[in-house]
C-alpha cells in the first residue's frame, strides 16, 4: 500500500505546501522500426508522447534516451536533433526510452488552482443543502482525498485505491498543520509552509500509516 503525496491548498486556491512521498518511477525502453508509430511533440522543453500508446508507453510520457544516449530538450549529447533522427529511415531500428514526467512546482500550482473551482462547482451542483464539496476523487490507479477545514484550507492526499483510512489521515495532517505550522511565530497565513518540524512529523506519520495502518497511529 502506497501514499503518493500530500497537498495543502489555501482558502483562496493557492498551493501552499506539497510533499511527494512515494511516487513510483516508470521507465519503458523498447526498439522501434520505421516509421515510428508514436507521435512526439516538443512541449515545455521536453519531447512528449502526444499520440499513440503501446507496451506501457502512454500519452504524456517523456522521451528520456535514444540508443542509450540521454535526451536534453530535443537534442542528444552530441548535438543531434532527435526529431530529425526519427524522420530518417537510415537511423532505424532505434531504441527509445520513455519515462513518466515528474511534475514541476509550477504544474502542481496549476493543478491546485484547477481543483479549487471544481470543488466549488461540486458544492453548488449537489442536490443536498450544505454540501461539503469533493471528499474523494477516484481514478483507476489512485484516489484523491480532500478535507476542507472551517477556514477553507484544503488538505489533499493522493494514494493507492486500496490504501485504507485516508479520510482519517487528512485530519491527522490537519492536526500537524495546527501544531507545527500555525503555532510557528514566523509563519503567515496563506503563505507557503516552510517548517522543518511540520515536514519531519508529516514524513514520520506517512511512513507509520504505510507500515502499520491508520489504526495504530
Domains of the chain: 3-23+104-216 (3.30.450.70), 34-92 (2.30.42.40)
Beta bridge partners of 5: 20, 158
User: What stretch of H or E contains 90?
Assistant: none
* pLDDT tens for each residue of 133-156: 899 999 888 899 999 999 999 999
CB atoms within 10 A of CB 4: 20
Give the pLDDT of residue 155. 96
Is residue 213 helix, strand or coil? coil
Percentage of residues in the chain having pLDDT higher than 70: 99
Confidence of residue 55 (pLDDT cuts 50, 70, 90): confident
Whole-number Å distance between alpha carbons of 194 and 64: 32
152 CA to centre of own chain? 22
CA atoms 32, 36, 39, 41: torsion sign: positive
CA distances to 61, 64, 81, 92, 109 from 86, rounded to whole Å, are: 17, 14, 9, 8, 34
| Beta-bridge mates of residue 18 | 7
Q: What is the 3-state secondary structure (H, E, C) of 100-166?
A: CCCCCHHHHHHHHHHHHHHHHHHHHHCCCCCCCCCCEEECCCCEEEEEECCCCCEEEEEECCCCCCH
Q: State the Cα–Cα distance between residues 30 and 213, nearest whole angstrom.
A: 38
- The CB density around residue 68, as the number of other CB atoms within 10 Å, is 8
pTM over 0.85: no
Residue 1 pLDDT level (bands cut at 50, 70, 90): low
Reported as a single tens digit per residue, the pLDDT across 63-109 is: 999 999 999 989 998 899 999 999 999 999 999 999 987 788 888 89
Burial (CB count within 10 angstroms: exposed 0-12, middle 13-18, buried 19+), residue 113: middle
Please tell me whether residue 207 adopts helix, strand or coil conformation.
helix
Q: How confident is the model at residue 49 (pLDDT cuts 50, 70, 90)?
A: very high
Amino acid at each position: 500500500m502506497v501514499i503518493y503525496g500530500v497537498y495543502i491548498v489555501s482558502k483562496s486556491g493557492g498551493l501552499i505546501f506539497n510533499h511527494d512521498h512515494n511516487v513510483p518511477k516508470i521507465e519503458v525502453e523498447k526498439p522501434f522500426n520505421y516509421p515510428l508509430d508514436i507521435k512526439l511533440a516538443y512541449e515545455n522543453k521536453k519531447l512528449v508522447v502526444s499520440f499513440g500508446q503501446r507496451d506501457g508507453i502512454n500519452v504524456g510520457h517523456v522521451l528520456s534516451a535514444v540508443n542509450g544516449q540521454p535526451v536534453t530538450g530535443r537534442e542528444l549529447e552530441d548535438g543531434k536533433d532527435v526529431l530529425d533522427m526519427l524522420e530518417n529511415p537510415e537511423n532505424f531500428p532505434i531504441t527509445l526510452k520513455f519515462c513518466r514526467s515528474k511534475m514541476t512546482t509550477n504544474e502542481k500550482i496549476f493543478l491546485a488552482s484547477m481543483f479549487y473551482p471544481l470543488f466549488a462547482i461540486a458544492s453548488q451542483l449537489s442536490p443536498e443543502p450544505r454540501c461539503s464539496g469533493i471528499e474523494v476523487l477516484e481514478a483507476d490507479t489512485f484516489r484523491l482525498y480532500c478535507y476542507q477545514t472551517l477556514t477553507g484550507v484544503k488538505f489533499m492526499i493522493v494514494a493507492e485505491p486500496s490504501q485504507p483510512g485516508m479520510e482519517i489521515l487528512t485530519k491527522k495532517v490537519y492536526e500537524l498543520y495546527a501544531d507545527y505550522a500555525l503555532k510557528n511565530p514566523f509563519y503567515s497565513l496563506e503563505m507557503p509552509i516552510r517548517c522543518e518540524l511540520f515536514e519531519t512529523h508529516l514524513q514520520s506519520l506517512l511512513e507509520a500509516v504505510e507500515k502499520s495502518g491508520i489504526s495504530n497511529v
